[in-house]
Amino acid sequence: EDQVTQSPEALRLQEGESSSLNCSYTVSGLRGLFWYRQDPGKGPEFLFTLYSAGEEKEKERLKATLTKKESFLHITAPKPEDSATYLCAVQADGSARQLTFGSGTQLTVLP
């Protein structure tokens, strides 16, 4: 059974204080690892897809990296508007492209 574990559950940062969120996964074969952002009262918003170990993707202050066992979402010099829950999900080889999600990391960036 595919499993995704995210840590920490919650993270509070001062504006400008860089940090990383972790996503550990267990999957029979990885087709893709996905990062989403979810604001309160809204659906998840797609951020990145990573397909193979060593791959990196960047968007503004966010950078996602992937190893064979985990992914990191690095947040550089965050701003209050980066406050949200960040969800990680895996898609397994041979699956019909279903996503298995972790429980998310709730990030709060204080001004």
Partner 1 sequence: EAGVAQSPRYKIIEKRQSVAFWCNPISGHATLYWYQQILGQGPKLLIQFQNNGVVDDSQLPKDRFSAERLKGVDSTLKIQPAKLEDSAVYLCASSHGSEQYFGPGTRLTVT
Residues that bind partner 1 (CB under 8 A): 4, 31-32, 34, 36, 41-46, 49, 87, 89, 91, 96-104
Cβ 60 to partner 1 shortest distance, Å: 18
Q: Are 37 and 44 in contact (CB under 8 A)?
A: yes
The nearer residue to partner 1, 31 or 74, going by C-beta atoms, is 31
Structure tokens at 58: 């960047």
Cβ 94 to partner 1 shortest distance, Å: 12
Q: Are 13 and 73 in contact (CB under 8 A)?
A: no
The nearer residue to partner 1, 18 or 103, going by C-beta atoms, is 103
Q: Are 105 and 86 in contact (CB under 8 A)?
A: yes
Q: Are 47 and 37 in contact (CB under 8 A)?
A: yes
The nearer residue to partner 1, 78 or 102, going by C-beta atoms, is 102
Structure tokens at 98: 């279903």
Residue 41 region by backbone torsions, left for phi larger than 0, else alpha for psi between -120 and 50, else beta: left
Cβ 4 to partner 1 shortest distance, Å: 7
The nearer residue to partner 1, 76 or 95, going by C-beta atoms, is 95
Cβ 40 to partner 1 shortest distance, Å: 11
